Amino acid sequence: MMSRTDSQRGAYMMDFDSFRHVYNFVRRFVERGEHKVQTILFTLSMKDGISEEVTEIETAVDMLDQAIFTSLRRADISTRYSSKQIIVILLDVRSESCDMIANRIINCFKHLYIGERIIVEYDVAQLEKLPGTWKRREEDS
């Protein structure tokens, strides 16, 4: 995946291997201070009863990638975690803001993806000194 970092807006997007290094660096940063860092894992799936089509999922992930890029700040970080998932790191963000941010991304995605066969869910975890716990959250319909 090509990194889009030179524009005047948008999330810093990178491949997963680079993301792992940045994640570990950010974890060290959090351990040394009182910084609020959140992660959101977005997962795409087909609605119940609909057979999965690889090309539709791939197209939807591309559109979610675009929605994340345009909806986040330049300081936020994003990567594809799997063929159906994208994870983001939000720097200097309180946990209370994550639902608003995730919903802004999902609304942008819904403008790009006009189909009705894909569901977007997200999980949120605060990056802490001790391992955080994931909380499952579903999009508001």
With beta carbons less than 8 A apart as the criterion, state whether 73 and 12 touch.
no
Instruction: With cut-offs at 50, 70 and 90, classify the pLDDT of residue 129.
Output: low
Give start and end residues of each alpha helix (H) in 8-86: 16-31, 54-71
Predicted pLDDT at 39: 94
Distance CA 115, CA 119 (A): 10
* Count of other CB atoms within 10 angstroms of residue 86: 23
Beta bridge partners, 120, equal 44
Q: What is the pTM of this model?
A: 0.81
Domain boundaries, given as residue ranges, for the chain: 12-138
Assign domain 12-138 to its CATH architecture: 2-Layer Sandwich (3.30)
Beta bridge partners, 63, equal none
Instruction: With cut-offs at 50, 70 and 90, classify the pLDDT of residue 62.
Output: very high
For 19-53, how does the pLDDT look when each residue is reduced to its tens digit (9 = 90+)? 888 988 888 888 877 778 999 999 999 888 777 77
With beta carbons less than 8 A apart as the criterion, state whether 46 and 57 touch.
yes
What's the token pair of residue 22? 């940045």
